[in-house]
Amino acid sequence: MDNTSRDENKAWSLLERVGNLAILNFLFLISSLPLVTIGTALLTVNQVGKNILDDKDPYIFTTYIKYFKRNFKSGVKNWLLTLLFFVLIFGNLIMLENNIVNPLLKMVALSVVLIFLSLYLIVATFAFNLDAENKTSVKDTVIQNVVIGFQNPLVTIGLVLWNVLNLLFFAWLLTFAGFFLIYYFSIGFALLSLGNGSLIRRLKQ
């Protein structure tokens, strides 16, 4: 009887966790619709995902709304800057490929761009995972994220790989429309946030 009761509790706990992830995923999708708020939604879903892992704030809806409001300005700013630097970095890669003929000069220029790309990935990853409550300047935020990244190399590599692999998986799954809709319109983005949250918990700041 005790075993049956324990199994039932585990089943209900699992269903509750899946339900919370589905709610979190839905809130992320809805709050991303204006497109310009994708950064705020990413920051918020990752923070709420970390709370789920820490068993904090069981009320997903109210917690998400509270964090979304708090993160709004910094999330929009981070998102627009991320897009801008993405265009600049890959624009430079295309220019290098098309305009520099000398192999040695091209290799040096490419190395410099790849260094900036690595820093970009570190800053962009932490920009949508760390708490945005403190209102720092863009320069201070970039420096802070780079310092945290180098202080936590294993966590940083894990975060970057986790997010890049999820981005590649997202692009690949687009070719299978049915599976894409089922996964990302149910719990896909929420699972991404749990992965980010589990790594962020290991940070030493």
pLDDT, tens digit, for every residue of 115-146?
A: 888 888 898 999 898 875 545 677 788 888 88
Query: Does the pLDDT at position 22 exceed 90?
Result: yes
The parent domain of residue 87 ranges over 2-200
Q: Is 143 helix (H, G, I), strand (E, B) or coil?
A: helix
Which stretch, 23-27, 145-149, 200-204, has highest mean pLDDT?
23-27
Q: What mean pLDDT value characterizes the chain?
A: 86
Q: Is residue 68 part of a domain?
A: yes
pLDDT bin (cut points 50, 70, 90) of residue 6 is low
Q: Is residue 47 part of a domain?
A: yes
pLDDT digits (tens, 9 = 90+) for 37-86: 999 999 999 999 999 888 876 789 999 999 999 999 989 999 999 999 88
Q: What is the pLDDT of residue 132?
A: 55
Q: Is residue 205 part of a domain?
A: no
Q: What is the pLDDT of residue 61?
A: 93
User: Rounded to the nearest 10 degrees, what angle do helices 103-127 and 153-173 cross at?
Assistant: 90
Rounded average pLDDT over 99-122? 83
Q: Is 1 or 118 the better-scoring residue by pLDDT?
A: 118
Quote the tokens at residue 141.
């935020």
| Residue 76 · residue 36 · CB < 8 Å | yes
Rounded average pLDDT over 139-166? 90
| Residue 45 · residue 195 · CB < 8 Å | no
Q: Is residue 107 part of a domain?
A: yes
Computed over its alpha carbons, how large is the radius of gyration of the chain? Answer: 20
Among 35, 31, 29, 34, smallest CA distance to 65 is for 31
pLDDT bin (cut points 50, 70, 90) of residue 107 is confident
Domain count, the chain: 1
Q: What is the pLDDT of residue 115?
A: 87
Sequence-distant contacts of 5-13: CB under 8 A, at least 24 apart: none
Conformation bin of residue 203: beta by default, left when phi > 0, alpha when psi is -120 to 50: beta
pTM for this one? 0.85
Which stretch, 113-122, 172-181, 190-199, has highest mean pLDDT?
190-199
Rounded average pLDDT over 6-26? 82
Q: What is the pLDDT of residue 201?
A: 87
